[in-house]
Amino acid sequence: MSVTSVSTVGPGSSSDLSEPSQLDVAGELLTLLRETTTEPRPDDQLEALTLAVAADLPVLLWGEPGIGKTAALTQLATALDLPLTTVIASVHEPSDFSGLPVVGDDPAEQGVPMAPPDWAVRLVRAGRGLLFLDELSTAPPAVQAALLRLVLERRIGALRLPPGVRIVAAANPRSSAADGWELSPPLANRFVHLQWTHDHDVVVRGLGGTWPRATLPRLDPDGLAEAVGRARRAVCEFLTARPGLVHRLPSGETRRGGAWPSPRSWEMTLNLIAFATAAGSSGEVLSLLVRGTVGDGPGLELMASLDRMDLPDPETLLADPSGAVLPERGDLRQAALDGVVAAVRRRPEKPRWDAAWALLARAMETGAPDVVVVPATTLAGLRQQDWDIPASIERLAGAMALSRRADRAADRATARNAGAAKAGR
C-alpha cells in the first residue's frame, strides 16, 4: 500500500514570504491616502481661531457633526508644533476634571490631595500642548460644573496647566447632538464662541490633498503699546456710552449657552482687539471674534464704534484737502465728511469753509457722488454773506443734481412697482 503525500500551500508558507500580505498592501494604500500638504490660503474662521489661541483664550467651535472641527484642531496642532491631547468630555466623570481624592498617611494633618488624571500629568510634563475638549455639548451638567475650574483657572486636581498649554473645545448644537445639553451660562461665558462652517472650495481642495495652513499671527513688536491703547479706548468708550451692556444675561436658555456680555467677556474682547490690531487682522476676522465673545448685538455695535473711532481727524483733512485719504466704504466716507462739516460749524472761517469744499470735490472725484449730497447741502448753509463761492461748488452742483434726479427716478419706479403689485392682488 503506497501512501501519497499531499502538500498544501497556504498564505503563511515559505513560498509566499517574498510577497507582501494584503494587509501590508492595504496599509500602504492607507498611508498614501493620509498624505496631505498645506498651503497659505485666506480663511477668516481659521485666522480667528489661531488669533484666539495666540491670545491664550479658551475657544469653543460650534458646528454640525462631520463639519471638520476635529480635523481642523488636528491640523492646527501639527502646524503650531503642539502635542494634541483629546479629551471626550461626555465620557468622563466630574472627578476626572476636579481630581480624585487620595488619602495619605495622616489626612488630619496633611489633608486629602486631589490626584489629577494621566492626560493632565502628561501635559504638565510636556510644558506645552493643545488640550482639545471634544463633544462638550453632550457633557452632563455635573461634568460642565467640574470643567469650570479647568477652563478658567487651568487647574485639574492639584495640578496647574503650564502657560504653554492652550484650550480649545468643540460642540454640536443641541438639535444635532447625541443626548445634548445646553451649556451652563458660567461655562459658556468662559469661551470665545466661533461658528465653524465648511467652505466648499476648501473641502474640495483638501480632499485633493491640500488643506489651508494654520499659522500664528505675526504681531508687530513696534505697535504693541498702540494696540493696547486702541483696545482699551474702544471698549471703555463703548461701555461708557452703553452702560447697560456691561453685564446682560440673556433670558433664553439657548442664548445663555452662547456668547453674552459680562465683565469677563469684555476683558476677553479687549484682549482680542489688541491682538487683532497688532496682527493687522481684517475687520471680518475681528468681527467673528468680538461677536463670539459678547454676542451678535453688542459685538456689531462695538464694531460700528470701532469704525467711527478709526475715522480720520477732521482737522487733519481740512489742513490738507488735496492729499486727504478718505475711507473707501461709503458709510464711513460720509461719516468722515459729516465730521468735517461739523468741524467747520464749530469754527466757521472762510479758509476752513473753502478747504471743506475742496475736500468734498475730492470725495466726489474718488468715490460715489451720492455720499457728498448731505454734507454739501449742510456746508452750503454755513456760508456767510462776505464769503465768495468757490469754483468747486459748480462741479459739485452738477453731481448733486444728477444724484437727486436718480433718487427721484428710483422713488417713482418703486412707487409704480408697488402700485402694480397692489392692483394685481
Can you give the pLDDT of all 425 residues of the chain as single tens digits?
444 544 455 555 545 567 888 999 999 999 999 888 888 888 899 999 999 999 999 999 998 888 878 888 888 888 888 999 999 888 888 887 877 777 666 666 666 677 788 888 899 999 999 999 988 888 888 888 888 888 988 888 778 999 999 999 998 886 665 566 788 899 999 999 999 888 888 888 888 888 888 888 899 999 999 999 999 999 999 999 899 999 999 988 888 999 999 999 999 999 999 999 999 999 999 999 999 999 999 999 999 889 888 888 888 899 988 888 888 888 888 888 888 999 999 999 989 988 998 888 888 888 877 788 888 888 888 888 888 877 766 666 655 554 454 445 555 656 666 666 566 55
Domain assignment of residue 287, yes or no: yes
Query: Which residues form the domain of 142?
Result: 41-102+112-212
Domain boundary among the residues 172, 193, 212 is at: 212
Residues 66 and 196 in one domain: yes
Query: Same domain for 127 and 168?
Result: yes
Residue 384 lies in a domain: yes
Tell whether 361 and 395 lie within a shared domain: yes
Tell me if 162 is assigned to some domain: yes
> Is the Cβ–Cβ distance between 281 and 47 less than 8 Å?
yes
Whether residue 200 is contained in a domain is answered as yes
Round to whole Å and give the CA distance between 97 and 116: 7
Q: Which residue reads 468622563 in cell numbers?
A: 92
- Spell out the residues 6+ positions from residue 54 whose beta carbon is closer than 8 angstroms to its own: 216, 217, 219, 275, 279
Phi/psi of residue 326, nearest 5 degrees: -100, 155
C-alpha cell at 422: 397692489
Nearest to 170 by CA among 87, 253, 265, 249: 87
Q: List, in sequence order, the alpha helices (H) in 320-368.
A: 330-346, 350-366
Q: Is the same domain home to 264 and 357?
A: no
Within this chain, do residues 254 and 381 fall inside the same structural domain, yes or no? no
Angle at 338 between CA 316 and CA 243, to 5 degrees: 95
Sign (positive or negative) of CA dihedral 36, 38, 44, 49: positive
Helix (H, G, I), strand (E, B) or coil at 42: coil
Domain shared by 127 and 197, yes or no? yes
317 assigned to some structural domain: no
- Separation of CA 118 from chain center: 32
CATH number for position 169: 3.40.50.300
**Number of folded domains that form the chain:** 3
C-alpha count within 13 angstroms, C-beta hemisphere, residue 40: 3
